Amino acid sequence: MILRFLRIILLFICFAQTSFSQTRLKGASDIGKLRWWLGIKTGATFSQVKVLEKFSVLSGQNNSDEDKKYNKSFRNMGQTIGVIFGYALGPNFLITFQPAYSNYKYGYKTFRTWRNLNGDSYSLSTSQIQRIGYIEFPVLFLFRVPVGHFEPYINLGAYYGKFVGGRKKLTYQESITEGGLSQPEDEKSETLGLSEYMMKSQMGLAGGLGISYTIQYFRIGLELSYKTGQYNLTDVKARYSNKHMLSKYYEVPDDIRLNQMDITLNMFMPVDNLIHLHSSQKSKAGRK
């Protein structure tokens, strides 16, 4: 998906560059005077799980134990793709609206064991990967400091996200120990939906820093940003609703929040130039 989006970026640059070459537009020397901006962005996102409270089906059961470990952030890579609308409030300040689709990944492993009084046991180990999608609507204030063709900047704001679906890939292995001998079965896997577990919307704070480079009529940049979710992702009323997960895997979701670190490639284009180009072409057509 990201490769397809990058091809669109390259085609867009080639088309716009050809069109802009037909008239005198504002370039790098006076780009700070431009007001309206349009852009696209794509990149990777890394999720960090913040556990608010853990829950277990095995709580209070005798002769049983459980261990659940969440994956580190570098193993939780997803994707984000979106557009950028910007308006310059002054030479150094912009306000941007950046609707995007983001796909977040996080996972954990569990190991559960039941023991009999005679020492025999049954164990179930799982590896669970969740992918959840959101349509997000961030509004960010950006402070920039142009230095020649380069422009370092920082931004800060908030976002609202609408949940649009998710799935869980669960890989598991069962093992029975009798008379001191362990008999593990082959590893198996299953894919399940997550919609019934998840809250349908999220809100959070966002901030980041980046640097862009102006190439004639375009600004291409690299940005590192961080988003902090403010609410529990799990619908607490539906925690025990999936009987299949309860009876087969003894699994219920914890209360968690997600924070994300995004690394994105951004491309901006001044809409002022498009307006100027359209006006110039109309004038030429009128003279003919």
Q: Using one digit for the tens of pLDDT, what is the confidence trace for 39-94? A: 999 999 999 999 999 888 765 555 556 778 999 999 999 999 999 999 988 888 99
pLDDT in tens, 251-272: 889 999 999 999 999 988 877 6
**What does the alpha-carbon distance between residue 142 and residue 194 come to, in Å, rounded to a whole number?**
35
Question: Domains plus CATH for the chain?
Answer: 2-25+36-287 (2.40.160.20)
pLDDT in tens, 185-206: 888 999 999 988 899 999 999 9
Cβ distance 184 to 223 under 8 Å?
no
What average pLDDT does this structure show over 3-23?
51
Cα–Cα distances (Å) from 130 to 47, 133, 195, in that order, read 11, 10, 11
Res 65: pLDDT: 61
For residue 117, what pLDDT band results from cuts at 50, 70 and 90?
confident
DSSP for 158-227, please give it. EEEEEEEEEEEEEEEEEEEEETTEEEEPPPEEEEEE-TTTB-SEEEEEEEEEEEEEEETTEEEEEEEEEE
**What does the alpha-carbon distance between residue 176 and residue 192 come to, in Å, rounded to a whole number?**
25
pLDDT in tens, 205-250: 999 999 999 887 678 999 999 999 999 999 999 999 888 888 888 8
Determine what percent of the chain falls in helix, strand and coil, rounding each to the nearest 5.
20, 60, 25
Could you give the 3-state DSSP secondary structure of residue 274?
A: helix
Cα–Cα distances (Å) from 244 to 96, 197, 266, in that order, read 44, 13, 43
What is the residue whose two structure tokens read 């716009």? 16
For residue 134, what pLDDT band results from cuts at 50, 70 and 90?
very high
Q: What is the CA radius of gyration of the chain?
A: 26
pLDDT in tens, 101-110: 999 999 999 9
Reported residue count of the chain is 288
Mean pLDDT across the chain: 83
Pairing of strands 255-270, 77-88: unpaired
